[in-house]
Amino acid sequence: MPAPLRACDQAASAASQVAFATGATHKYALQERAYTALKVEHGLPAQPAVRVIGKVADAYSTRTSHLKKGLPGRRGRHGG
């Protein structure tokens, strides 16, 4: 995997951990909590950092929607 994609993937994992820990799954709430860390710790420029946060927020939104419909999905590597 190319280095920029690896950085984005690692940043997405970090943003997801922040979202899970804080309950901030909405895009702007998550951005307030994770944006600076993604830029500093993962070396992402502004636009990729915002896109990663948006993708993580979208994933949480989709997951919530599926759970409300009774569609738990497949088990992931974290047992969820």
Mean pLDDT within 28-54: 97
Q: Scanning the structure block, which residue is given the tokens 């979208």?
A: 58
What would the pLDDT profile of 8-37 be if each residue is shown by its tens digit?
999 999 999 999 999 999 999 999 999 999
Residue pair 42/36 in contact by the 8 Å Cβ criterion: no
Burial bucket for residue 36 (CB in 10 Å: 0-12, 13-18, 19+): exposed
pTM: 0.86
